[in-house]
Amino acid sequence: MQDKVKLLSVVVPVYFEEEILNELHKRLKKVLVGLESRVNHEIIFVNDGSTDHSLQILRQLQKRDKNVRVIDLSRNFGHQIAITAGIEHARGDAVVVIDDDLQDPPEVIAEMVDKWQEGYSVVYGIRSERKGENAFKLFTAKLFYRLLGKLSDVKIPLDTGDFRLMSREVVDVLKKMSEESRYVRGMIAWIGFPQVGVPYKRDARHAGETKYTLKKQLSFALDGITGFSDKPLRLTIHLGIFITIIAFLAILWVVIDKVVFHVPIVRGWTSLVAVILFLGGMQLISIGIVGEYIGRIFRETKNRPLYVIAEKFGFECSKEDIEENKVSKTDIDYQQSLINNSNS
């Protein structure tokens, strides 16, 4: 009996990329059609609150290509949440996540499928070269990945992004992880299963400008560090002990000066102010670190949904698909809602 051809889902978060989408779809289709003897495919575009013509272009692509699905979020929820929305709606036996700027070449997907079919559950892209990025971005990215590697309790591969393939067993576990402050590549590393990297050269943007500002980069870095390590909290303890020891030695020095060497205690106010400012600064930093963790706990206790969907296109499923278990429960629920709306 011939095995059923498996399904590959490709998830693409979209944010203000109207200039790129047609070319992205063209290159994705070229790769995925070339893999049709091995896997069927679907492409899930997640519009993350774009207010340009991105959604209109995606709807046109969906009308022309029966393999395209579109999720339109009600507002901008952020890159990691958009990825999560796409993954949770993916039907595939394996799911690939790729950004919408064509910096990650779609052609690498074929290599990822090869590794998946060899038995790996996760195949992540390793950026061996990054074109079109300035020295500051390259330096800070390299520094962040290595700092996170030192701080994290989970081994997260260096120089990797969200461009990766995940098997269904990994996706099913990931869907159960509902934290709000998400660092998806770290969450996948935490899950485990056999994982392997595929080196590739990251291209410059195909068009437009990056939407990933320095503020977003810092926020993302903070999510990565606080989500996978409590070492910053321990660092505040060590810092407190260190400063206490220094203060004790300073007091001891003053006492010895007074008792043994009869040096007058009257000193200039500059050194005193410097010490007070230093200790005050350390206290504020420590409180800020603790507050960051507490704030994340507070947001988690609200238990709000990670995202809100305004509309979905291309997720309609036939009775045969449902009976043959080719669709997810999400698709079935959505199909039922369409039926209910049409009857009302």
292-301 pLDDT, tens digit each: 777 777 777 7
Query: What tokens does 285 get?
Result: 């930093």
Residue 261's pLDDT is 62
Residue 171's pLDDT is 93
The answer, as to whether pTM is greater than 0.75, is: no
Q: Is the pLDDT score of 12 beyond 90?
A: yes
Lowest mean pLDDT among 81-95, 197-211, 305-319: 197-211
Residue 276's pLDDT is 72
pLDDT confidence tier of residue 133, bands split at 50, 70 and 90: low
Could you tell me the CA-to-CA distances from 51 to 16, 59, 71, 73, 307 in Å, in that order? 7, 14, 14, 11, 17
165 φ/ψ angles, rounded to the nearest 5 degrees: -110, 140
Q: What percent of the chain has pLDDT over 70?
A: 63
CA-to-CA distance for 289 and 105, rounded, in angstroms? Answer: 38
Q: Is the pLDDT score of 341 beyond 50?
A: no
Q: What percent of the chain has pLDDT over 90?
A: 23
Give the contacts of 90 (CB within 8 A, at least 6 positions apart).
9, 11, 42, 44, 171, 328
For the residues 268-278, what does the mean pLDDT come to?
62
CA-to-CA distance for 249 and 64, rounded, in angstroms? Answer: 75
Could you tell me the CA-to-CA distances from 285 to 148, 279, 281, 282 in Å, in that order? 19, 10, 6, 5
- Which residues in 165-204 are b (16+ Cβ under 10 Å) and which e? bbbbebbebbeeeeeebbbbbbbbbbbeeebbbbebebee
For the residues 129-149, what does the mean pLDDT come to?
64
For the residues 51-64, what does the mean pLDDT come to?
90
Residue 187's pLDDT is 85
Out of 3.30.2090.10, 3.40.50.920, 3.40.367.20, 3.90.550.10, the CATH code matching 6-211 is: 3.90.550.10
95 φ/ψ angles, rounded to the nearest 5 degrees: -130, 130
Lowest mean pLDDT among 30-34, 158-162, 184-188, 249-253: 249-253
Q: Is the pLDDT score of 3 beyond 60?
A: no
Could you tell me the CA-to-CA distances from 245 to 238, 248, 252, 341 in Å, in that order? 11, 5, 10, 70
Residue 151's pLDDT is 63
